[in-house]
Amino acid sequence: MNKQKSLLLILVLAVAVCYANISGLDVYALDEAKNAEAAREMFESGDYVVPYYNYQLRTDKPPLHYYFMAAGYAIFGVTEFGARLFSSLMGVFTIMITFLFARKHFGEKAGLNAALVLISSIHLALQFHMSVPDPYLVFFMTWAFYSFYEAYKTNNKWQLLSFYFAIGCGVLTKGPVAIGLPGLAALIFLFSQKDFKWKTIWRLQPFGGLLLALLISVPWFYAVHIQTNGAWTEEFFFKHNFSRFSDSMEGHSGSPLLTFAFVFGLGMLAFIPFSVQSFKNAWKEKQDSAMMYVLISASVIVVFFAISSTKLPNYTVPSYPLIAILIGAYIAKIDNQWFAKLGNRIGLFFYAILLIVFPIGIYFALQGDKSLGELTNLAFYFIPLSVVGVFIFKQGIARKSIESVLWMNISVWCVTIMLFFHLIFPQVDGQNPVQQTLPEMDTSKMIIAFKRLNPAFVFALQREIPMYNDVETIKQIMGSQPSGYLISRTEFQEELESIPGLEFQDKARDLFENPTTLVMRWGMDY
């Protein structure tokens, strides 16, 4: 395949995967709903300094992704497509620059493979389907990592400028982590090359570059600090950065091994048989400065979040493009002799068995979830994985045609991802509490919340849902309003049912979460 055809193939597949049905899925997940709603309120008010969610100060993240979503709303309206438009575009950009970087430094085949590793990752595709900061951080950090190496090797001033510009955008997306991780990787790399010298440091202009990055981000940080009297600054830096690293938050803790499970068992699921070998191969080829740099950069991200107290699957996603390059470079050079090693064959057999039993696992997972028990038929959509699993198992026994194993594996995961977003997940999404309960409500009436609220309701209604924490206030509101609805959780149902005139209307379990949404009503006859 020539360079033009490779480029076109990757572009078409990247767009197909990253934009798959982004308008057909509700903005429902907790973080996505909060971010999409905060962007909507920013777009509605025209205040692009202080972010709000449900018309209360939101301190979780800086605003760059809000600006992109506001642009999406301006073009396509306040819709799921508008909220996710640029998230998906960040995915396409990430895949394309990974392809170009890997092709330049490791060869055409390695570049093609690296891009296909990303395209075959269902977890990466999920990230680029969400209106959250992560797609933007992944792109800007990936851009920063690649630009640094290009600047180091070629002394190209534009690449150096790109490095610091991307860092500045990353800081405006998610904070100091966008400085820390690329900076630490660059530092370790210079030491590994025995090039931590004043001449090299002067050439890379870290102080001027850091100033540029801060000039991009600090004006907004200063403005929000002034306008909120320091409240945003204190909450963001101390709670959402330092505290997340030093202490687990919201129950998201676990062993350091959990981080490696996220990366290799979730992100690189389609290439499990080749993941460990790719790192070993990179270490063997550490004399290649490009390989060493990619290995160091990927390891810095994974190890950093492994030692962090708060652990979430999306934290390590910036490592995926780098790991994809390691895998892509490794599988580009293997041939049928790869089967000769017993360890390789055993890993391939275990992976084949995983694919074969995948639909069974999905079936029992759906059956075990009370809110999704009626959707066990969705497991049949994963049968193509089983078919390819059988094929891979046979190829492993025959010890021939590793190329056919790789292409069949990539193809089946691309098909599975398209089935997932167009046919599978929409049916799961239809069971979310907003779709289950909101059609039965007269949304022209007053709607309030008690103690806890699923944020997807706020985005769906595109208006404030006032939150109250005590029964007496609820009674006063009911006395002043002839009718209305109250949204809460079933854990507070007994407390709410003690209020005269407040009646149960509906409940629905939150998808992928333990709580169950509760809807109560007053002043209405049914």
DSSP code string of 306-356 = HHSSS--TTTTGGGHHHHHHHHHHHHHH--GGGGGSHHHHHHHHHHHHHHH
* Band of pLDDT at residue 247, cut at 50, 70 and 90: low
Structure tokens at 221: 């940080």
pLDDT(242) > 80? no
Mean pLDDT calculated for residue range 479-488: 94
**Least-confidence region, from 224-228, 309-313, 500-504:** 309-313
Flag whether pLDDT at 250 surpasses 60.
Answer: no
Rounded mean pLDDT, 12-20: 97
Chain centroid, CA 262 distance in Å: 12
Tell me, what amino acid is at 234? E
pLDDT band, very low/low/confident/very high, at 256 (cuts 50, 70, 90): confident
How far apart, in whole angstroms, are the C-alpha atoms of residue 477 and residue 479? 5
- Inform me whether the pLDDT recorded for 244 exceeds 80: no
To which H or E segment does residue 56 belong? strand 56-57
Burial of 514 (0-12, 13-18, 19+ CB in 10 A): exposed
Length of the chain: 526
Instruction: Kindly report the backbone phi and psi dihedral angles of residue 449, in degrees, each rounded to the nearest multiple of 5, phi listed first.
Output: -130, 155
Mean pLDDT of 153-177: 96
Note if the pTM is more than 0.75.
Answer: yes
pLDDT of residue 253: 59
Percent of the chain with pLDDT over 90: 85
SS3 27: coil
Q: Taking residues 352-381, what's their average pLDDT?
A: 92
Antiparallel, parallel or unpaired: β 484-489 and 446-450: parallel
For 209-213, 383-387, 401-405, which range has the lowest pLDDT when averaged over its residues?
A: 401-405
For residues 405 and 413, give the distance between their C-alpha atoms in angstroms, rounded to a whole number: 12
Q: What is the mean pLDDT of the chain?
A: 93
Q: Residue 311's pLDDT band (boundaries 50, 70, 90)?
A: confident
* CATH of span 434-522: 3.40.190
Residue range 456-474, pLDDT digits in tens: 999 999 999 999 999 999 9
Is residue 391 within 8 Å of 408, Cβ to Cβ? yes
Mean pLDDT of 100-124: 97
Lowest mean pLDDT among 100-104, 182-186, 402-406: 402-406
Reported confidence tier of residue 150, pLDDT bands at 50, 70, 90: very high
Q: Would you state the pLDDT for residue 288?
A: 95
> What does the alpha-carbon distance between residue 369 and residue 159 come to, in Å, rounded to a whole number?
50
pLDDT at 245: 57
Which is more confident, 152 or 401?
A: 152
pLDDT tens-digit map of 321-336: 999 999 999 999 999 9
- Beta-carbon contacts of 265 under 8 Å, excluding residues fewer than 6 positions away, are 272
Could you write out the DSSP letters of every residue in 132-199?
SSHHHHHHHHHHHHHHHHHHHHH--HHHHHHHHHHHHHHHHHH-THHHHHHHHHHHHHHHHTT---HH
Q: How far apart are CA 93 and CA 105, in angstroms?
A: 18
Q: Quick check: 427 pLDDT over 60?
A: yes
Under 8 Å CB-to-CB from 175, ≥6 apart: which residues? 61, 62, 236, 237, 240, 241
**449 membership: H or E segment, kind and range:** strand 446-450
The reported pLDDT for the residue numbered 248 is: 52
Domain limits of the chain?
A: 3-333, 336-431, 434-522
pLDDT at position 120, please?
A: 97
Does the pLDDT value for residue 294 go beyond 90?
Answer: yes
Which 3 state secondary structure label does DSSP give 503? Answer: strand
The predicted model gives 346-351 an average pLDDT of 94
Q: How many CA atoms lie within 13 A of 234 on its CB side?
A: 6
